Structure 1
């Protein structure tokens, strides 16, 4: 079993791990000849299934195993991975390989940085005894580089303990099964959406009975955001408590066209729930209710940029597809898929 690669885009990889670790501390990672997959399945809250093209984060990629497609399945802790990547943000290069240290499997990061070593800035000046400050004894001649900062290469190694998983142990892991969505819409800027969502949640928590003193840290007591979309380019975010009822509406958004080939098993485009919702007019909405704090963590993926499509299964679930740009033309998009269950009324 062998895996070694250079990190092509440290910043993107760091932002990805920061976003994933906000939702769960442990990830299942699948490496193979074609893709890199990260899966986060916390006990409660949003699940993330990320499928990345190799070129989006790696280069000089080498992998070998006895499994089909040279697949290697790993389990790792996300916080130390993110810390290693943060330490490499200003590096000239970073590489990672699968190895063992004291019999324990690890992902070993080798980070190379250039540091500037300062010379002795006063080393070329001597206090002369002559009354003439420009006399022969005032200075001594030296080589130019004696007092200049010089680049020095520093090599840092960070080892992240992992578990190498058997194929049988991950065979039953699969993405949640969700019925066909009633509405699908391209979301506005996630940074803007996060700012408004966080503000709504904080206001609701502050005005709820007893406020934070009553223990709103309990997930059952956290106010729920209501998110709704129609098939006429509108998105609505609202929250309601005994003391507060506020909402914000976006219009002019895009409802992307469905690919008929992808919905043949659902009876075709004419029978698709989104077609029926559109026929019901702009006042027909598909609605989900979500934990405001969890939603804020999901929206942290906005730091990666990319196009985001939200699919609403009314009163059931919200699925986000976050499409990231790839370096190489002709390579399939990297996509992060978020599954968020809806709370009942």
Structure 2
């Protein structure tokens, strides 16, 4: 099997891996001819299913394997993020799958212009190209007089197709509410403030840790979003209005007239004062703050609040769709976050 690619968008790639790393240390990375997929399924907390267009990160891209040109890897995100950060000021960067002492690894080779001390900070590693694992390495970095070539290694584990065959995205029914969120960094700031206030306002031992940080996120089909938290000592909320509820696409959704969001639109008001027409979830504040770190990527974000198909009626889930624009102006890269709700 072979994988080799040159990276043209180091900044976005680094921000992406750093955001995912806050939710889990390991990612299942699926490399194929069509997409690059990052998946995080922690024992507790938010699941992430990210489908990235190849040109959103890579300039040249080659993947080959006996399994239909698909390679599945388990990648430590901390190591990958650290390596990518070292390439932020590089003139060029190349990522490839190789082996060292029979152990698979991702080798990130970068060219650093006018960096005479680069070897002291990042020891270069000689390429091992006779193992039959990676493509022959062809230097595309120009003469060595003005650039220093640095290679960093990220140990990975190659996953057999059978190992990941049973992994699938959570199944949810059609959402009750869909809404464009305000800037995520703004939302994260207020969420973190609410969480700190709740933790400070509860006496030690008066409640369990999860209840001290439990936030309620709610929205309606009239452009309103509400973030609130309640404890024995306090009750505080923040409401956004005039947000956008995107119209459903008839080519993608059948039966719009009977869609749950259409019925919800008949309830509630645009000022957010009505108690009707709201869909809500109850989530852990600290986990939510980690999810909101995706705001560093920018992009357009849609929140869909819906009931999970296999849960009780009073249990809900929050699904965040983060769309990253590609070079051609289309939203081809989608990060999907599944946040489970606590019962009332």
Structure 2: 5+ residue stretches without partners: 118-144, 308-314
Distance 1:242 1:215, change over 3 A: closer
Q: CA deviation at 1:116?
A: 5.2
Moved over 6 A (4+): none
Quote the residue 2:230 is aligned against: 240
Q: CA deviation at 1:117?
A: 5.5
Note the 1:59-74 alignment, pairs <5 A: 59-68=59-68, 70-74=69-73
Note the 1:133-282 alignment, pairs <5 A: 152-210=146-204, 214=205, 219-264=209-254, 268-282=255-269
Q: Is the 8 A contact 1:53 1:332 kept in 2?
A: no
Q: Deviations over 1:176-231 (max 9, x none)?
A: 01121110000000011000000000000000122xxx498x75344211000000
Q: CA deviation at 1:152?
A: 4.0
Q: Is the 8 A contact 2:7 2:93 kept in 1?
A: yes
Distance 1:30 1:110, change over 3 A: same
Give the Cα–Cα distance (whole angstroms) in 1 for the partners of residues 74 and 322 of structure 2. Answer: 23
Give the Cα–Cα distance (whole angstroms) in 2 for the partners of residues 116 and 160 of structure 1. Answer: 22
Note the 1:108-119 alignment, pairs <5 A: 108-115=107-114
Q: Is the 8 A contact 1:225 1:238 kept in 2?
A: yes
Q: TM-score, normalised by structure 2?
A: 0.85
Number of aligned residues: 305
Instruction: Tell which structure's C-alpha radius of gyration is larger.
Output: 1
Give the Cα–Cα distance (whole angstroms) in 1 for the partners of residues 253 and 88 of structure 2. Answer: 43
Q: Is the 8 A contact 2:116 2:148 kept in 1?
A: no
Distance 1:230 1:100, change over 3 A: same
Distance 1:275 1:48, change over 3 A: same
Give the Cα–Cα distance (whole angstroms) in 1 for the partners of residues 211 and 268 of structure 2. Answer: 35
Structure 1: 5+ residue stretches without partners: 119-150
Give the Cα–Cα distance (whole angstroms) in 1 for the partners of residues 162 and 55 of structure 2. Answer: 28
Give the Cα–Cα distance (whole angstroms) in 2 for the partners of residues 116 and 278 of structure 1. Answer: 59
Distance 1:276 1:327, change over 3 A: same
Q: TM-score, normalised by structure 1?
A: 0.85
Distance 1:54 1:96, change over 3 A: same
1:292 lines up with 2:282 in the alignment: no
Q: CA deviation at 1:261?
A: 3.1
Q: Deviations over 1:140-159 (max 9, x none)?
A: xxxxxxxxxxx742221111
Larger relative helix fraction: 1
Distance 1:116 1:76, change over 3 A: closer
1:302 lines up with 2:301 in the alignment: no
Distance 1:332 1:184, change over 3 A: closer
Give the Cα–Cα distance (whole angstroms) in 1 for the partners of residues 11 and 239 of structure 2. Answer: 33
Distance 1:116 1:340, change over 3 A: closer
Q: CA deviation at 1:167?
A: 1.1
Name the SS for the 1:156 alignment partner.
strand
Give the Cα–Cα distance (whole angstroms) in 1 for the partners of residues 52 and 212 of structure 2. Answer: 33
Give the Cα–Cα distance (whole angstroms) in 2 for the partners of residues 84 and 269 of structure 1. Answer: 47
Q: CA deviation at 1:332?
A: 5.1
